[in-house]
């Protein structure tokens, strides 16, 4: 049982390049989330998917798109990377059981945009 | 505007003593709070939670206290161990069933042997 996995672990991009961050969970969870963490700040929600087939914006969605490919996988795409998107990105998942139920996080992807 | 605040960026305590990490929030509509622990190069891991209908929740060495009138919660770790050294984030749940989280900025705890 791997939990939440993310690929790649590290990535360096040039301004304007595109890339997709992959996330998968094997816990049969319904909800999945993408966060970014910047120095001196807490994690901020980019997008989430309450269930397969649905996605919605979080606090900081600009410059990103997401795809809930199936129940297991939730990808985050940067169409035209900018230096402001240099950050550590975390994916999380949660089963739907009630308010406050635990979100389980992946190990993160460290992205640098030059 | 930061709705969840952790005003102490860092805290250092001696092994065996109590660690107290604090968190303040501004939105009285938050009804559930969680604490996460994060080691370097890893994702956050859930530690303990508390519902707004309670004022205390205990799990082993970890206790979370909630003071709704002051919009303040705290995490107590007793006794502190070197393995507790990590960044601790408090988070508030919002959005009902969508269970979205607003995180504080984190407190780096260092437990000295």
Which 31-70 residues of chain A touch chain B by CB within 8 A? 31, 33, 40-45, 48, 50, 56, 58-59
Shortest CA gap B66–chain A (Å): 15
What is the number of alpha carbons within 13 Å of residue A72 lying toward its C-beta?
8
pLDDT at B62: 98
Mean pLDDT of A24-38: 94
* Lowest mean pLDDT segment, chosen from A3-7, A103-107, B90-94, B96-100: B96-100
Mean pLDDT of A55-64: 95
From B55, B48, B49, B89, select the one nearest B71 (Cα to Cα): B55
Q: How confident is the model at residue A98 (pLDDT cuts 50, 70, 90)?
A: low
- Across the interface, which of B43, B49, B89 has its CB nearest the CB of A42? B89
User: 3-state DSSP call for residue B44?
Assistant: coil
> Cα separation of B20 and A63, whole Å?
38
Query: Which pairing describes strands B10-14 and B107-112: parallel, antiparallel, or unpaired?
Result: parallel
CB distance B103–A43 less than 8 Å?
A: yes
> Cα separation of B101 and B80, whole Å?
27
Write out the two tokens for B12.
Answer: 């250092």
CB distance A50–B51 less than 8 Å?
A: no
Read off the pLDDT of residues B21-47 as tens digits, 9 standing for 90 and up: 999 999 988 889 999 999 999 999 999
> Cα separation of A35 and A17, whole Å?
20
From A4, A68, A36, A49, select the one nearest B99 (Cα to Cα): A49
Mean pLDDT of B75-96: 94
Other Cβ atoms within 10 Å of B10 Cβ, number: 10
Distance, C-alpha A37 to centroid of its chain: 11
pLDDT at A101: 73
Read off the pLDDT of residues B40-71 as tens digits, 9 standing for 90 and up: 999 999 999 999 899 999 999 999 999 999 99
Q: Does residue B16 surpass a pLDDT of 90?
A: yes
Mean pLDDT of A98-113: 87
- Across the interface, which of A56, A101, A107 has its CB nearest the CB of B43? A107
């Amino acid at each position: 049982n791997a939990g939440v996995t993310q690929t790649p672990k590290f990535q360096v991009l040039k301004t304007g390049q595109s890339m997709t961050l992959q996330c998968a969970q094997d816990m049969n969870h319904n909800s999945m989330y993408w966060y970014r963490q910047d120095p001196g700040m807490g994690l901020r929600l980019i997008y989430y998917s309450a269930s397969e087939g649905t996605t919605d914006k979080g606090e900081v969605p600009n410059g990103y798109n997401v795809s809930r490919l199936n129940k297991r996988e939730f990808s985050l795409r940067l169409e035209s990377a900018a230096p402001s998107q240099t950050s550590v990105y975390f994916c999380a998942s949660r089963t739907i059981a009630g308010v406050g139920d635990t979100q389980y996080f992946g190990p993160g992807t460290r992205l640098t945009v030059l | 505007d930061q709705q969840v605040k952790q005003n102490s960026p860092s805290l250092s305590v001696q092994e065996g003593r109590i660690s107290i990490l604090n968190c303040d929030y501004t939105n009285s509509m938050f009804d559930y709070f969680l604490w996460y622990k994060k080691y370097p190069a890893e994702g956050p891991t859930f530690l303990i939670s508390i519902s707004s209908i309670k004022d205390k929740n205990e799990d082993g060495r970890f206790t979370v206290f909630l003071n709704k009138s002051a919009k303040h919660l705290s995490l107590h770790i007793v006794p502190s161990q070197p393995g507790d050294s990590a960044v601790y984030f408090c988070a508030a749940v919002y959005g009902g069933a969508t269970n979205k989280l607003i995180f504080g900025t984190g407190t780096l705890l260092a437990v000295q042997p």
